[in-house]
Structure 1
């Protein structure tokens, strides 16, 4: 758990213990004291439940945002790779055209050499 969560739990536990001790030393009937303890316990339980719901909501939002960021990063990477692929294909097409031109020159020289031998 995070330090924030531990602090909240420690605070709630301390408040519940303090309330319980305060009620036990208050000059009241046993039935009223038990009722106050039960009410204090119910309040602490509700507070803890709300804090846990808030933390759960925050974590869901954080992970939801992370998932969205990851998907966006993936799409950017794929798009970037697509552009790089196009660049590589263009480069290879240029080199292929150069090689074809060089090959055509070599074939002309070779043909010219054969013509002189005849």
Structure 2
């Protein structure tokens, strides 16, 4: 995404600079040149706004995808830990049962 956003910004900047230089070096009246510059500036602003919105949408999509992936991984980890915890508890209960049985033998003696 970094290369793509740099490419978009470079393209927009190059377009704006090229249009501005073309207008400045074109033989025309000052009022016409100023109007063309204003029009090109508005066009460049609109393109940059569109590019920024596109970039924002890409970032939002990437973040959403990463969040979903992390949520899935977290749920998987919690599920695994829950199963392991259940296994440990069962094992401890079995050991406790064995210890209680041994203790009863010693108390009878």
Q: Tell me the equivalent position of 2:5.
A: 5
Give the 4+ runs in structure 1 shifted more than 3 A: none
Distance in 1, Cα, partners of 2:6 & 2:58: 16
Task: Report the Cα offset of residue 52 of structure 1.
Answer: 0.5
Distance in 2, Cα, partners of 1:16 & 1:102: 87
| Length-normalised TM-score, structure 2 | 0.82
Unmatched segments (≥5 aa) in structure 2: none
Equivalent position SS for 1:27: coil
Q: Tell me the equivalent position of 1:26.
A: 26
Q: Tell me the equivalent position of 1:45.
A: 45
Q: Tell me the equivalent position of 1:65.
A: 65
Q: Which has the higher contact order (CA 8 A, sep 6+)?
A: 2
Task: Report the Cα offset of residue 76 of structure 1.
Answer: 2.1
Cα RMSD of the aligned pairs, angstroms, is: 2.1
Unmatched segments (≥5 aa) in structure 1: 111-118
Greater C-alpha Rg: 1
| Length-normalised TM-score, structure 1 | 0.77
Q: Tell me the equivalent position of 2:93.
A: 93
